[in-house]
Amino acid sequence: MLWGACMRSTVLFLIVLVAMIILATIVISFTMLSIELYNANVGVLNPSNESSFNEVSVPELVERINNFTLKVYGRVLERNWNKNTVVSPFNIYIALTLLYEGANGSTRRELGSVMGLADNSLCKAYQELLGSLPLNNNDNTALIVANAIWLKQGYPFREEYIELVRKCYDAEVKYFESIGQLVSDINEWVSTKTRGLIRELISRDDVDENVVAVIVSVIYFKANWVEEFKPTSPIRFWTGETYVEVPAMELISDKLRVVHGDGYTVVEVPYNNTSISMIVIVPENHNDIRYKYQKLVIEALNKLKEESSRRKIWLIMPKFNITLRTDLVEVLKELGVREVFTPGRADLTRMANVGVGSIWVSKVVHQAVIKVNEKGTEAAAATAIIIVESLPVVDEEVVVDKPFIYMIWDRNTNTILFIGHVVNPIEA
């Protein structure tokens, strides 16, 4: 009876949709941008706020990152509907920024169009944004953003590009000679930056023999809740198709902020010693996640900015642990980035002293992990942009992939010295 009364008198958030975890995690990317700019009433996701100067301001950069977040999340959502998902478009955007700085001509314009840039300089804004985010590297509260680029030893990279990524994006510049060394060094660097949460960003199969550069960006987040949850009984969780029993946790607190919209409820759960919080959006109809995600995210953030009151809330939600690894090339192509993925056409001449089409991007590997439990949250994401040298332009390609006759022949005398045939090349 007591339980039933509490249920009627207290706001009870049963997170009844597996797919809702998707929005909960993607919004973390937005709340990582909830810095002094956010508190100063910077407009959220307002693409009409354009600068007349070549230098992008911090509010404009935040807008561009958030708009990019919704675009990428929408594509990832379509590919992973009815599956748990975590992604950090913030991390992807930073990695693409280092690529953008090396791009030229129509390749640069394509990237800029998707990223909301028109041959803009991001150097100052990026540095100021990092200076405003609550970066920390403590044991219990951490937000780490790190960049690095691996360059093939002896390849003619431009010194101007190397200095730019060092100065503007704090990128570590490293050199490699062997593919095995490259893969090992990248994975070790990523594992260190993510405190072991991502141990293998790329495999040997991801890297072609003709690789000349790999751009890598990492974000790592860890924090405890302001008030720790307590374990509670498993809850019946509606997946959109059936009910499942899932481990759950509960919290009764006046530190939570709650707002309501048309057909959805939003709760903000703050972390300790940081301005970052988790936002959970629960639509009444789980299909709204798929078809109304942009409206849900934008309205939720705007409503939370306007809401100052706090009430005592009883929150019950599932614990979860999600990992996603994907190649983003097709996602980015759908958004309009195509030329940089095309050998013979990609223009990365601001990166290296090469001709147009000489080097291009073969893969954009993204991996993200999130763990949410009674104590708090730990999350990480890493993106690797793999740049390879184009194969020589040929007039015709011949592939010997079936039984054939072979001869050793002297052209001058027309003498056949050896003759034979091959049916199975792996047999002696």
Domains, the chain, with CATH or none: 14-224+320-389 (3.30.497.10)
- According to DSSP, the β-strands at 172-176 and 142-152 are parallel
Structure tokens at 316: 């019950």
Contact (CB, 8 A) for 375 and 228:
yes
- Rounded alpha-carbon distances, angstroms, from residue 239 to 11, 16, 246, 286: 21, 7, 11, 9
pLDDT category of residue 306 using cuts at 50, 70 and 90: confident
Q: 102-135 burial by CB neighbour count: b if 16+ within 10 A, else e?
A: bbeeebbebbbebbbbeebebbebbeebeebbbe
The residues, any chain, with a CB within 8 Å of residue 417's CB and separated by 6 or more, are: 407, 408, 409, 410
Burial class of residue 74 (count of CB atoms within 10 Å of its CB; 0-12, 13-18, 19+) = middle
| pLDDT per residue as tens digits for the range 402-414 | 999 889 888 898 8
pLDDT category of residue 135 using cuts at 50, 70 and 90: very high
Both ends of the chain: CA-CA distance in Å?
81
Please give the model's pTM, rounded to 2 decimal places.
0.83
The predicted model gives 288-295 an average pLDDT of 84
Which residue, among 337, 349, 345, has the nearest Cα to 103 in the 3D structure?
349
- Rounded alpha-carbon distances, angstroms, from residue 395 to 90, 392, 398, 401: 42, 10, 10, 19
Single-letter amino acid code for the residue at 379: A
Query: 307 or 52: whose pLDDT is higher?
Result: 307
**Nearest-angstrom CA–CA distance, 321 and 254:** 26
pLDDT category of residue 394 using cuts at 50, 70 and 90: low
Q: Residue 53: its pLDDT value, please?
A: 41
Contact (CB, 8 A) for 71 and 113:
no
Q: Which of 224-233, 318-327, 402-411 has the lowest mean pLDDT?
A: 402-411
CA 314 from chain centre, in angstroms, equals 32
Beta bridge partners of 109: none
